[in-house]
Amino acid sequence: MSNRELKILRNLAGRYAEIANADENLLKIVTHRKVNDLKMERPTVLMDEIPWNEMKNETELILECEDEKLRSIEEYLRRELYRHKNFRCDRMFVPYFPVDMIVNSTGIGMDIAETTIAADNGVISAHSYKDQLETEEDIAKLKTPVITYDKEKTTENFYFASEILNCVLPVKIVGVCGGYGMAHGVWDTISMLKGVTNALIDLAERPEFMHKIVEKLSNISIDVAKQNESLGLFDNSAMYIHCTAAVTSDLEMPEDYENVKLSNTWGRAVAQMFSSVSPKMHDEFDIQYAKKAMEPYGLSYYGCCEPLDKKIDILRQIKNLRKISITPWADINIAAEAIGKDYVVGVKPNPAQLSLANLDEGAVRKELTDLYDACYKNGCSFEFVLKDISSAGGNPKNLAKWEQIAMSIVK
Protein backbone atom coordinates (compact mmCIF):
# COMPACT_ATOMS: atom_id res chain seq x y z
CA MET A 1 0.00 0.00 0.00
CA SER A 2 1.48 3.29 -1.10
CA ASN A 3 1.43 6.50 0.94
CA ARG A 4 -0.77 7.99 -1.78
CA GLU A 5 -3.39 5.23 -1.36
CA LEU A 6 -3.27 5.55 2.42
CA LYS A 7 -3.81 9.30 2.15
CA ILE A 8 -6.78 8.83 -0.23
CA LEU A 9 -8.53 6.34 2.06
CA ARG A 10 -7.97 8.30 5.26
CA ASN A 11 -9.21 11.46 3.60
CA LEU A 12 -12.38 9.72 2.45
CA ALA A 13 -12.83 8.10 5.87
CA GLY A 14 -12.41 11.43 7.63
CA ARG A 15 -15.07 13.06 5.47
CA TYR A 16 -17.39 10.12 6.07
CA ALA A 17 -16.82 10.22 9.85
CA GLU A 18 -17.91 13.87 9.94
CA ILE A 19 -21.19 12.95 8.23
CA ALA A 20 -21.86 9.90 10.41
CA ASN A 21 -21.27 11.82 13.64
CA ALA A 22 -23.07 15.01 12.64
CA ASP A 23 -26.22 16.10 14.48
CA GLU A 24 -28.18 15.74 11.24
CA ASN A 25 -27.40 12.02 11.08
CA LEU A 26 -28.25 11.47 14.75
CA LEU A 27 -31.56 13.27 14.25
CA LYS A 28 -32.43 11.00 11.32
CA ILE A 29 -31.89 7.96 13.51
CA VAL A 30 -34.35 9.38 16.03
CA THR A 31 -36.87 10.13 13.27
CA HIS A 32 -36.67 6.58 11.92
CA ARG A 33 -36.98 5.16 15.42
CA LYS A 34 -40.23 7.03 15.99
CA VAL A 35 -41.67 5.65 12.74
CA ASN A 36 -40.77 2.09 13.75
CA ASP A 37 -42.12 2.66 17.28
CA LEU A 38 -45.49 3.65 15.72
CA LYS A 39 -45.01 7.18 17.09
CA MET A 40 -44.22 8.91 13.81
CA GLU A 41 -43.53 12.63 13.75
CA ARG A 42 -43.02 12.62 10.00
CA PRO A 43 -42.56 9.88 7.40
CA THR A 44 -39.04 9.06 6.29
CA VAL A 45 -37.49 8.56 2.85
CA LEU A 46 -34.89 5.97 1.89
CA MET A 47 -33.33 4.97 -1.43
CA ASP A 48 -31.47 1.72 -1.99
CA GLU A 49 -30.45 -0.82 -4.62
CA ILE A 50 -28.90 1.97 -6.64
CA PRO A 51 -27.86 1.41 -10.32
CA TRP A 52 -24.20 2.20 -9.67
CA ASN A 53 -23.31 0.71 -13.06
CA GLU A 54 -24.82 3.80 -14.70
CA MET A 55 -22.52 6.13 -12.75
CA LYS A 56 -19.13 4.88 -13.86
CA ASN A 57 -18.22 8.25 -15.31
CA GLU A 58 -19.07 10.22 -12.17
CA THR A 59 -15.75 11.73 -11.08
CA GLU A 60 -16.43 11.28 -7.38
CA LEU A 61 -16.94 7.53 -7.86
CA ILE A 62 -13.80 6.77 -9.87
CA LEU A 63 -11.48 4.52 -7.83
CA GLU A 64 -7.82 5.48 -7.52
CA CYS A 65 -6.39 2.63 -5.45
CA GLU A 66 -4.73 -0.28 -7.27
CA ASP A 67 -5.00 -3.10 -4.73
CA GLU A 68 -8.38 -4.90 -4.83
CA LYS A 69 -8.83 -4.95 -1.04
CA LEU A 70 -8.10 -1.25 -0.87
CA ARG A 71 -10.48 -0.62 -3.77
CA SER A 72 -13.32 -2.33 -1.90
CA ILE A 73 -12.82 0.05 1.05
CA GLU A 74 -12.52 3.02 -1.30
CA GLU A 75 -15.67 2.05 -3.20
CA TYR A 76 -17.76 1.83 -0.03
CA LEU A 77 -16.61 5.23 1.19
CA ARG A 78 -16.98 6.94 -2.19
CA ARG A 79 -20.49 5.61 -2.66
CA GLU A 80 -21.60 6.71 0.79
CA LEU A 81 -20.14 10.18 0.25
CA TYR A 82 -21.83 10.36 -3.16
CA ARG A 83 -25.17 9.39 -1.63
CA HIS A 84 -24.81 12.08 1.01
CA LYS A 85 -24.01 14.78 -1.53
CA ASN A 86 -26.53 13.85 -4.22
CA PHE A 87 -29.49 11.93 -2.70
CA ARG A 88 -29.03 11.59 1.04
CA CYS A 89 -32.79 11.62 1.86
CA ASP A 90 -33.10 10.14 5.39
CA ARG A 91 -30.24 7.68 5.01
CA MET A 92 -28.60 6.78 8.30
CA PHE A 93 -24.83 6.62 7.96
CA VAL A 94 -23.30 4.13 10.38
CA PRO A 95 -20.51 5.61 12.55
CA TYR A 96 -17.96 2.97 11.55
CA PHE A 97 -16.55 1.08 8.57
CA PRO A 98 -18.32 -2.30 8.39
CA VAL A 99 -16.41 -5.54 7.94
CA ASP A 100 -18.76 -8.39 7.06
CA MET A 101 -18.53 -11.69 8.89
CA ILE A 102 -17.43 -14.44 6.53
CA VAL A 103 -20.08 -17.13 6.89
CA ASN A 104 -20.04 -20.38 4.93
CA SER A 105 -22.77 -22.93 4.22
CA THR A 106 -22.63 -26.50 2.95
CA GLY A 107 -25.80 -25.82 0.91
CA ILE A 108 -29.23 -27.44 0.86
CA GLY A 109 -28.24 -30.36 -1.33
CA MET A 110 -29.44 -28.88 -4.60
CA ASP A 111 -27.97 -26.18 -6.83
CA ILE A 112 -30.05 -23.84 -8.94
CA ALA A 113 -30.26 -24.86 -12.62
CA GLU A 114 -31.05 -21.79 -14.66
CA THR A 115 -30.73 -20.11 -18.02
CA THR A 116 -30.13 -16.37 -18.01
CA ILE A 117 -30.44 -13.68 -20.64
CA ALA A 118 -28.58 -10.54 -19.64
CA ALA A 119 -29.72 -7.05 -20.54
CA ASP A 120 -27.46 -4.83 -22.63
CA ASN A 121 -25.78 -3.43 -19.54
CA GLY A 122 -25.08 -6.93 -18.24
CA VAL A 123 -26.44 -6.12 -14.77
CA ILE A 124 -30.07 -7.24 -14.93
CA SER A 125 -30.94 -10.67 -16.33
CA ALA A 126 -34.03 -12.67 -17.20
CA HIS A 127 -34.03 -16.16 -15.67
CA SER A 128 -35.68 -19.45 -16.48
CA TYR A 129 -35.34 -22.42 -14.14
CA LYS A 130 -35.33 -26.19 -14.50
CA ASP A 131 -37.85 -28.01 -12.29
CA GLN A 132 -35.75 -30.04 -9.84
CA LEU A 133 -38.58 -30.79 -7.41
CA GLU A 134 -40.90 -33.02 -9.40
CA THR A 135 -41.09 -36.06 -7.11
CA GLU A 136 -40.96 -36.95 -3.42
CA GLU A 137 -37.54 -38.45 -4.11
CA ASP A 138 -36.43 -34.99 -5.18
CA ILE A 139 -37.73 -33.49 -1.93
CA ALA A 140 -35.68 -36.05 -0.01
CA LYS A 141 -32.53 -34.60 -1.57
CA LEU A 142 -33.04 -31.33 0.31
CA LYS A 143 -31.01 -31.15 3.49
CA THR A 144 -30.22 -28.73 6.26
CA PRO A 145 -26.90 -26.98 5.60
CA VAL A 146 -24.15 -26.68 8.16
CA ILE A 147 -23.29 -23.03 8.86
CA THR A 148 -19.75 -22.12 9.88
CA TYR A 149 -18.10 -18.84 10.76
CA ASP A 150 -14.62 -18.14 9.42
CA LYS A 151 -13.51 -16.07 12.38
CA GLU A 152 -9.85 -16.14 11.37
CA LYS A 153 -10.46 -14.64 7.92
CA THR A 154 -12.98 -12.15 9.31
CA THR A 155 -10.51 -11.02 11.97
CA GLU A 156 -7.80 -10.69 9.32
CA ASN A 157 -10.06 -8.40 7.27
CA PHE A 158 -10.91 -6.43 10.42
CA TYR A 159 -7.26 -5.75 11.27
CA PHE A 160 -6.48 -4.89 7.66
CA ALA A 161 -9.19 -2.20 7.60
CA SER A 162 -8.34 -1.04 11.13
CA GLU A 163 -4.70 -0.44 10.27
CA ILE A 164 -5.80 1.89 7.49
CA LEU A 165 -8.84 3.63 8.95
CA ASN A 166 -8.97 3.38 12.72
CA CYS A 167 -7.17 6.65 13.29
CA VAL A 168 -10.06 8.50 11.59
CA LEU A 169 -13.01 6.05 11.48
CA PRO A 170 -13.76 3.09 13.79
CA VAL A 171 -13.95 -0.36 12.20
CA LYS A 172 -16.60 -2.86 13.26
CA ILE A 173 -17.36 -6.48 12.40
CA VAL A 174 -21.01 -6.71 11.38
CA GLY A 175 -23.13 -9.85 11.45
CA VAL A 176 -25.64 -11.54 9.20
CA CYS A 177 -28.39 -9.08 10.14
CA GLY A 178 -26.28 -6.10 9.18
CA GLY A 179 -28.71 -4.85 6.56
CA TYR A 180 -31.00 -7.48 5.10
CA GLY A 181 -32.14 -9.41 8.12
CA MET A 182 -32.57 -13.13 8.60
CA ALA A 183 -35.08 -13.92 5.87
CA HIS A 184 -37.65 -16.70 5.73
CA GLY A 185 -38.13 -16.80 1.97
CA VAL A 186 -39.02 -20.38 1.08
CA TRP A 187 -41.05 -19.30 -1.95
CA ASP A 188 -38.08 -17.44 -3.40
CA THR A 189 -36.17 -20.71 -3.12
CA ILE A 190 -39.03 -22.75 -4.61
CA SER A 191 -39.34 -20.34 -7.53
CA MET A 192 -35.70 -21.03 -8.39
CA LEU A 193 -35.76 -24.79 -7.78
CA LYS A 194 -38.99 -25.38 -9.71
CA GLY A 195 -39.68 -22.27 -11.76
CA VAL A 196 -42.67 -20.04 -11.01
CA THR A 197 -45.02 -21.57 -13.61
CA ASN A 198 -44.35 -25.12 -12.47
CA ALA A 199 -44.80 -24.14 -8.82
CA LEU A 200 -48.13 -22.40 -9.46
CA ILE A 201 -49.45 -25.37 -11.43
CA ASP A 202 -48.46 -27.77 -8.66
CA LEU A 203 -50.10 -25.53 -6.06
CA ALA A 204 -53.37 -26.02 -7.88
CA GLU A 205 -52.97 -29.65 -8.95
CA ARG A 206 -50.74 -31.18 -6.23
CA PRO A 207 -51.32 -29.17 -3.04
CA GLU A 208 -50.23 -31.93 -0.63
CA PHE A 209 -47.01 -32.38 -2.57
CA MET A 210 -46.33 -28.64 -2.36
CA HIS A 211 -47.00 -28.67 1.38
CA LYS A 212 -44.24 -31.25 1.75
CA ILE A 213 -41.81 -28.98 -0.11
CA VAL A 214 -42.77 -25.92 1.93
CA GLU A 215 -42.54 -27.78 5.22
CA LYS A 216 -39.11 -29.17 4.36
CA LEU A 217 -37.70 -25.81 3.29
CA SER A 218 -39.38 -24.00 6.18
CA ASN A 219 -37.78 -26.34 8.70
CA ILE A 220 -34.42 -25.80 6.99
CA SER A 221 -34.87 -22.02 7.22
CA ILE A 222 -35.72 -22.21 10.93
CA ASP A 223 -32.72 -24.44 11.62
CA VAL A 224 -30.36 -22.12 9.74
CA ALA A 225 -31.57 -19.19 11.85
CA LYS A 226 -30.92 -21.18 15.03
CA GLN A 227 -27.42 -22.09 13.83
CA ASN A 228 -26.63 -18.45 13.17
CA GLU A 229 -27.88 -17.61 16.65
CA SER A 230 -25.80 -20.30 18.34
CA LEU A 231 -22.69 -19.13 16.47
CA GLY A 232 -23.25 -15.54 17.61
CA LEU A 233 -23.54 -14.16 14.09
CA PHE A 234 -26.20 -11.48 14.56
CA ASP A 235 -25.37 -7.80 14.40
CA ASN A 236 -25.99 -5.70 17.50
CA SER A 237 -26.10 -2.35 15.69
CA ALA A 238 -28.02 -3.02 12.48
CA MET A 239 -29.74 0.11 11.20
CA TYR A 240 -31.49 -1.54 8.27
CA ILE A 241 -33.78 -4.47 7.53
CA HIS A 242 -33.92 -5.09 3.76
CA CYS A 243 -33.52 -1.45 2.65
CA THR A 244 -35.87 -0.14 5.37
CA ALA A 245 -35.03 1.27 8.79
CA ALA A 246 -34.50 -1.21 11.64
CA VAL A 247 -33.86 1.21 14.53
CA THR A 248 -36.48 0.94 17.27
CA SER A 249 -36.93 1.31 21.02
CA ASP A 250 -38.77 -2.02 21.17
CA LEU A 251 -35.79 -4.37 20.82
CA GLU A 252 -33.28 -4.87 23.61
CA MET A 253 -29.76 -5.14 22.22
CA PRO A 254 -26.76 -6.66 24.05
CA GLU A 255 -23.52 -4.70 23.78
CA ASP A 256 -21.63 -7.76 22.57
CA TYR A 257 -22.82 -9.09 19.20
CA GLU A 258 -21.84 -12.62 20.24
CA ASN A 259 -24.75 -12.59 22.69
CA VAL A 260 -27.39 -11.25 20.29
CA LYS A 261 -30.33 -13.65 20.07
CA LEU A 262 -33.18 -13.96 17.59
CA SER A 263 -35.39 -12.22 20.13
CA ASN A 264 -33.13 -9.14 19.89
CA THR A 265 -33.46 -8.83 16.12
CA TRP A 266 -35.88 -8.34 13.25
CA GLY A 267 -37.02 -11.32 11.23
CA ARG A 268 -38.24 -11.02 7.66
CA ALA A 269 -40.65 -13.18 5.68
CA VAL A 270 -41.55 -12.95 1.99
CA ALA A 271 -43.54 -14.82 -0.63
CA GLN A 272 -42.98 -12.78 -3.77
CA MET A 273 -44.42 -15.24 -6.26
CA PHE A 274 -47.69 -15.20 -4.30
CA SER A 275 -48.67 -12.09 -6.19
CA SER A 276 -50.68 -14.58 -8.25
CA VAL A 277 -52.55 -16.49 -5.54
CA SER A 278 -55.66 -15.84 -3.47
CA PRO A 279 -55.58 -14.74 0.17
CA LYS A 280 -56.78 -18.20 1.17
CA MET A 281 -53.97 -19.94 -0.67
CA HIS A 282 -51.43 -17.39 0.56
CA ASP A 283 -52.53 -18.08 4.12
CA GLU A 284 -52.40 -21.85 3.75
CA PHE A 285 -49.10 -22.13 1.93
CA ASP A 286 -47.06 -19.32 3.44
CA ILE A 287 -48.50 -17.51 6.47
CA GLN A 288 -49.04 -20.74 8.41
CA TYR A 289 -45.34 -21.49 7.97
CA ALA A 290 -44.04 -17.92 8.21
CA LYS A 291 -45.75 -17.22 11.54
CA LYS A 292 -43.92 -20.18 13.09
CA ALA A 293 -40.61 -19.08 11.58
CA MET A 294 -41.06 -15.52 12.89
CA GLU A 295 -41.96 -16.56 16.47
CA PRO A 296 -38.40 -16.40 17.88
CA TYR A 297 -37.75 -12.86 16.65
CA GLY A 298 -38.39 -9.67 18.56
CA LEU A 299 -40.09 -7.97 15.59
CA SER A 300 -40.80 -8.97 12.02
CA TYR A 301 -41.19 -7.39 8.62
CA TYR A 302 -43.36 -9.06 5.99
CA GLY A 303 -43.33 -8.69 2.25
CA CYS A 304 -41.26 -7.49 -0.66
CA CYS A 305 -42.68 -7.17 -4.18
CA GLU A 306 -45.93 -9.09 -3.64
CA PRO A 307 -49.12 -6.95 -3.37
CA LEU A 308 -50.54 -7.32 0.15
CA ASP A 309 -53.28 -4.70 0.19
CA LYS A 310 -56.06 -7.31 0.25
CA LYS A 311 -54.21 -9.68 2.58
CA ILE A 312 -53.62 -7.60 5.72
CA ASP A 313 -56.07 -9.73 7.71
CA ILE A 314 -54.06 -12.91 7.21
CA LEU A 315 -50.81 -11.12 8.08
CA ARG A 316 -52.23 -10.27 11.50
CA GLN A 317 -51.60 -13.89 12.54
CA ILE A 318 -47.88 -13.06 12.78
CA LYS A 319 -47.78 -12.01 16.45
CA ASN A 320 -44.63 -9.89 16.38
CA LEU A 321 -45.36 -8.23 13.03
CA ARG A 322 -44.31 -4.58 12.98
CA LYS A 323 -43.81 -3.60 9.34
CA ILE A 324 -45.56 -4.48 6.06
CA SER A 325 -44.25 -3.86 2.55
CA ILE A 326 -46.74 -2.17 0.20
CA THR A 327 -45.54 -2.26 -3.39
CA PRO A 328 -46.42 -0.16 -6.45
CA TRP A 329 -48.74 -3.01 -7.53
CA ALA A 330 -50.90 -2.68 -4.41
CA ASP A 331 -53.75 -0.23 -3.81
CA ILE A 332 -52.36 2.12 -1.17
CA ASN A 333 -55.82 3.31 -0.13
CA ILE A 334 -57.01 -0.22 0.66
CA ALA A 335 -53.73 -1.09 2.38
CA ALA A 336 -53.51 2.04 4.52
CA GLU A 337 -57.11 1.72 5.68
CA ALA A 338 -56.60 -1.94 6.62
CA ILE A 339 -53.31 -1.26 8.42
CA GLY A 340 -54.23 1.96 10.20
CA LYS A 341 -52.11 2.58 13.29
CA ASP A 342 -51.28 -1.10 13.86
CA TYR A 343 -48.15 -1.51 11.74
CA VAL A 344 -45.51 0.51 9.91
CA VAL A 345 -46.28 0.83 6.21
CA GLY A 346 -43.18 0.31 4.08
CA VAL A 347 -44.42 2.27 1.05
CA LYS A 348 -42.58 1.33 -2.16
CA PRO A 349 -42.92 4.00 -4.87
CA ASN A 350 -42.56 2.87 -8.48
CA PRO A 351 -38.85 2.72 -9.45
CA ALA A 352 -39.80 2.64 -13.13
CA GLN A 353 -40.42 6.39 -12.81
CA LEU A 354 -36.64 6.86 -12.82
CA SER A 355 -35.93 4.80 -15.94
CA LEU A 356 -36.78 7.65 -18.33
CA ALA A 357 -33.85 9.68 -19.62
CA ASN A 358 -35.47 12.73 -18.05
CA LEU A 359 -37.56 12.28 -14.93
CA ASP A 360 -41.24 13.24 -15.22
CA GLU A 361 -41.24 15.35 -12.09
CA GLY A 362 -44.96 16.02 -12.21
CA ALA A 363 -45.77 12.30 -12.32
CA VAL A 364 -43.38 11.59 -9.43
CA ARG A 365 -44.88 14.35 -7.29
CA LYS A 366 -48.42 13.10 -7.96
CA GLU A 367 -47.53 9.49 -7.11
CA LEU A 368 -45.77 10.41 -3.88
CA THR A 369 -48.47 12.86 -2.84
CA ASP A 370 -51.19 10.25 -3.38
CA LEU A 371 -49.20 7.72 -1.34
CA TYR A 372 -48.59 10.26 1.41
CA ASP A 373 -52.23 11.35 1.59
CA ALA A 374 -53.56 7.77 1.79
CA CYS A 375 -51.25 6.89 4.70
CA TYR A 376 -51.65 10.19 6.54
CA LYS A 377 -55.45 10.20 6.52
CA ASN A 378 -55.47 6.69 8.01
CA GLY A 379 -53.09 7.59 10.83
CA CYS A 380 -50.32 5.28 9.60
CA SER A 381 -46.68 5.36 10.58
CA PHE A 382 -44.96 5.06 7.22
CA GLU A 383 -41.77 5.37 5.25
CA PHE A 384 -41.07 5.81 1.54
CA VAL A 385 -38.56 3.20 0.36
CA LEU A 386 -37.44 3.56 -3.25
CA LYS A 387 -35.63 0.34 -4.17
CA ASP A 388 -35.17 -2.09 -7.08
CA ILE A 389 -33.88 0.79 -9.17
CA SER A 390 -32.73 -1.28 -12.15
CA SER A 391 -32.08 1.88 -14.15
CA ALA A 392 -32.01 5.63 -13.70
CA GLY A 393 -32.34 6.12 -17.44
CA GLY A 394 -28.58 6.55 -17.66
CA ASN A 395 -29.05 9.88 -15.90
CA PRO A 396 -27.82 10.02 -12.27
CA LYS A 397 -29.60 13.37 -11.86
CA ASN A 398 -32.91 11.47 -11.85
CA LEU A 399 -32.01 10.09 -8.43
CA ALA A 400 -31.28 13.54 -7.04
CA LYS A 401 -34.48 15.00 -8.50
CA TRP A 402 -36.60 12.17 -7.10
CA GLU A 403 -35.04 12.64 -3.66
CA GLN A 404 -35.69 16.39 -3.69
CA ILE A 405 -39.37 15.86 -4.54
CA ALA A 406 -39.82 13.16 -1.90
CA MET A 407 -38.18 15.20 0.84
CA SER A 408 -40.24 18.27 -0.02
CA ILE A 409 -43.41 16.20 0.50
CA VAL A 410 -42.53 14.61 3.86
CA LYS A 411 -41.06 17.69 5.57
20-36, pLDDT tens digit by residue? 999 999 999 999 999 99
**Model confidence over 358-404: pLDDT tens digits?**
999 999 999 999 999 999 999 999 999 999 999 999 999 999 999 99
What is the CB-side half-sphere exposure of residue 163 using CA atoms within 13 A?
9
What domains appear along the chain, each with residue ranges and CATH number? 3-410 (3.20.20.210)
Q: Which helix (H) or strand (E) holds 372?
A: helix 361-377
Rounded to the nearest integer, the mean pLDDT of the chain is 94
- Whole-number Å distance between alpha carbons of 385 and 351: 10
pLDDT for residue 41: 97
**Residue 145 scores a pLDDT above 60:** yes
First to last CA, the chain: 45
**pLDDT category of residue 256 using cuts at 50, 70 and 90:** confident
> Percent of the chain scored above 90 by pLDDT?
88
How far apart are the C-alpha atoms of 402 and 411, rounded to whole Å? Answer: 15
**Long-range contacts, 358-361 (Cβ 8 Å, 24+):** 358/393, 358/395, 358/398, 359/393, 359/395, 359/397, 359/398, 359/401, 359/402, 361/401, 361/405
Q: Are 348 and 385 in contact (CB under 8 A)?
A: yes
Closest CA to 134 of 211, 216, 210: 210
